[in-house]
Amino acid sequence: MDNLDAARMQMAFTLIFHIVFACIGMVMPFFMVISHYKWLKTKKPVFLKLTKSWQKGVAIFFVTGAVSGTALSFELGLLWPEFMKHAGPIIGMPFSLEGAAFFVEALALGFYLYGWNKLPERFHLLTGIIVGLSGVASGILVVSANSWMNAPSGFDYINGEFLNIDPLKAFLNPAWFTQALHMTLAAFVATSFAVAGIHAWQIYKKRNVELHREAFKIAIVFGAVAALLQPLSGDLSAKDIAQRQPAKLAALEAHYETEKGVPLYIGGIVDEENQTVSYKIEIPKALSFLSFGDFDAEVKGLNDFPKEDRPPVAITHYAFQIMVGLGTLLMFSGLLYFISLKKKKWQDSKKYWLYFACLAPVGFLALEAGWIVTEVGRQPWIIHNVMRTKDAVTPMPGMIYSFYLYVILYVVLSIAVTWLMGRQIKVLNNSED
């Protein structure tokens, strides 16, 4: 394994790990705040117990997200020095603002954790809201830096030099809104269904049913609403990609020849050598319509691009299919929940709770697949159409050992976090207060 492969593997592994905890850190504070608000309104002990349990979870995931995010920040400089040499002055603004948002989030979380019976009730609740809002802001700011890599702007690239830098224009690049919206909704979908699924499992097992029902209701509402909105966000993203990254669009659908009225593929096995897709379901002219709003629109095929400029087709296509398929499943599951509010007998069935329990990991699987689409679909560019990934990697030898070390550390950290959360659930179920 050469340096490029080792660096890409390490970056991918740490990002896949971090994104889970970052999304949970963005979303769980809102569950905590809603439960806290219900406690203040009703004074029911179940909401106080739930709030204090969730606040511990927020603290655990905040620390884990902070540690893994810091590692990623170092990796940008250590693994991709040529990228940071040029990109640093351009996208430094969102990173510096993200640092400010992180500071506010940490300060507000400290007030919230240690403010019980010490701060005025409304101010205490406000600090929890600030934790959630600053977490979302932090996520959006980081995503804006990533979106710049897909839609570079705010500079002139002349003779290999980055000149006339405009940080604000780079920050508000053409892709930032669609990508930030899609990612924020994805974070809410993934986290909400995961939390709802954990509590659904406890209900299925008949453990502290009253508390877990209240927890499920809070989490699933966020997830169901976000899941129903996600297709609209996905449509905006697809049309944006069609305009800016036609090679990525072609890879998503394993579309090789430029045609008009192009069908949309559902599923299928990609044969990159023969440029075919077997065992797929075709929806006539759907790709043209989804990409350009016109059933007869022309969609560029991969063969219109030089081989060295094409993304890896198979992995991009499969990841896209997984993302869309699982997202569709969660959208219908969100609709199912709202229907069950009218058909209350459904919630008396163990199958209902088992179904939602099985959905717990689905949102994060879709989230990870989406990031594979974003990152692999941009290849071979680290900055789209400006700098290739191979030109940005560090020349330092032995990067494979760094990759192995990070795998070990993150596996240990994952086990520790899983154990802590399992312990929290046991304490919650056994608590008598």
What string of DSSP letters covers 146-215?
Answer: HHHHHS--SSEEETTEEES--HHHHHT-TTHHHHHHHHHHHHHHHHHHHHHHHHHHHHHTTSSHHHHHHH
DSSP 367-432: HHHHHHHHHHTTTTEEETTTEEHHHHS---S-HHHHHHHHHHHHHHHHHHHHHHHHHHHHHHHH--
Measure the CA–CA gap between 31 and 34, rounded to whole angstroms. 5
Phi, psi of 205 (to 5 degrees): -85, 0
Q: What is the pTM of this model?
A: 0.89
27 lies in some domain? yes
What is the enclosing helix (H) or strand (E) of 298?
Answer: strand 298-299
Measure the CA–CA gap between 327 and 337, rounded to whole angstroms. 15
3-state secondary structure of 351: helix
116 lies in some domain? yes
292 lies in some domain? no
Q: Taking a C-beta distance cutoff of 8 angstroms, is the pair 219, 236 a contact? A: no
342 lies in some domain? yes
Directed axis angle between helix 209-244 and helix 45-79, to 10°? 30
Measure the CA–CA gap between 256 and 299, rounded to whole angstroms. 10
Q: How many domains does the chain have?
A: 1
3-state secondary structure of 274: coil
209 lies in some domain? yes
For 231, the domain range is: 3-241+310-430
341 lies in some domain? yes
212 lies in some domain? yes
261 lies in some domain? no
Nearest to 334 by CA among 311, 310, 313, 359: 359
pLDDT (tens place) for every residue of the chain, 433 residues total: 677 788 888 888 888 888 888 888 889 999 999 999 999 999 888 888 889 888 888 888 888 887 777 777 778 778 888 888 888 888 888 888 888 888 888 899 889 988 888 888 889 899 999 999 998 998 888 888 888 888 888 888 877 778 788 888 888 888 889 989 999 999 999 999 999 999 898 888 888 888 888 899 999 999 999 999 998 988 888 888 888 888 898 888 888 888 888 888 888 888 888 888 888 888 888 888 888 888 888 888 888 888 888 888 888 989 999 999 999 999 999 999 999 888 878 888 888 999 999 998 999 999 999 888 888 888 888 888 888 888 888 887 777 888 888 888 888 888 888 888 787 777 777 754 4
